[in-house]
Structure 1
């Protein structure tokens, strides 16, 4: 013989469910709400980007060549996609950029192992790629930088805070499709 649960049990089960649904709906409604005090960044800058040369010993190697060829022309981000942004001459090897409001998204391939990667580093896995977020000492950062640390070469992506995680997800997809995973070398 089955007995029906008491009203208290039903309320104990239903209340957390209703609360979870309410929080989810509110976060969806408010996730794109603009801060009325924030200035409008205006349209993205589409002029050729002058990318400074950095130490990237593997930037011209086959892994970076394959990855750059596999990257999408448009990254997801903000209200619309982020189109590829040309690089000013002389363009360093292993670099790709996309136009975004306020700051570009910039990818650099072939970098040396980041000094910030230690045995206790917190890594985030996005679409099969292990990323190390580089520290930003600014209390309210306007951009974030990530380094893919589980491939045969290191790849850094810097994105403005306003575009969300779409660029990192799309780059992760291209990395997963192009470069095999490798053990993470922390020392």
Structure 2
């Protein structure tokens, strides 16, 4: 999967982001996260409008950093899948553990050890990409998405 597959600016300036379809407790976690997300990342990456509108997605900057809440468990973390890797690279940022996946266009970070999966796609334009999740995203996740029991 490409870093921002289906995530592109439209003629109207909105960022097209496929919205996940969370269920159960993930719906409440994502709603709480949406309220806590920062208006800007790194002071100059302003929040953008996503299309379709969804409380499960957010975007900042150009090229867009894209957040999706309530995504499925990544294949690399799913036993029995072809991509399963129990020793996949992770990093702790501001109290949140993130799976790091290098893509052709940058990095995709997905929360691990949380009751809802949150994914952040960061274009290589913002290298080192991990700094973006430290720009308020990790704090919002830590405050709204509980750790696994």
Asked if these proteins are the same fold (TM beyond 0.5), I'd say yes
CA contact (8 A) 1:58 1:109 kept: no
**What TM-score do the two structures reach when normalised by structure 1?**
0.61
- 1:74 corresponds to which of 24, 40, 44: 40
Higher Cα Rg, which structure = 1
CA contact (8 A) 2:34 2:55 kept: no
Q: Which residue of 1 aligns with 2:53?
A: 91
In 2 relative to 1, CA 58–96 (structure 1 residues): closer, same or farther, beyond 3 Å? Answer: farther
Q: Gapped runs of 5+ residues in structure 1?
A: 1-44
Aligned equivalents of 1:177 and 1:157: distance in 2? 17
Give the deviation of 1:46 after TM superposition. 8.3
Aligned equivalents of 2:21 and 2:113: distance in 1? 17
Aligned equivalents of 2:55 and 2:33: distance in 1? 12
Matched, 1:116 2:76: yes
Aligned equivalents of 1:147 and 1:84: distance in 2? 20
Q: Which residue of 1 aligns with 2:94?
A: 127
Give the deviation of 1:92 after TM superposition. 4.3
Larger strand fraction of residues: 2
In 2 relative to 1, CA 132–46 (structure 1 residues): closer, same or farther, beyond 3 Å? Answer: farther
SS at 1:132 equivalent: strand
SS at 1:61 equivalent: helix
SS at 2:73 equivalent: coil
Q: Gapped runs of 5+ residues in structure 2?
A: 1-10, 78-84
SS at 1:155 equivalent: strand
Larger helix fraction of residues: 1
- Measured on the aligned residues, the alpha-carbon RMSD in Å equals 2.3
Map 1:156-167 to 2 at 5 A: 156-163=119-126, 164=128, 165-167=130-132
Give the deviation of 1:125 after TM superposition. 0.8
Give the deviation of 1:180 after TM superposition. 2.0
Q: Deviations over 1:16-71 (max 9, x none)?
A: xxxxxxxxxxxxxxxxxxxxxxxxxxxxx981112134x53349710000011100
CA contact (8 A) 2:76 2:86 kept: no
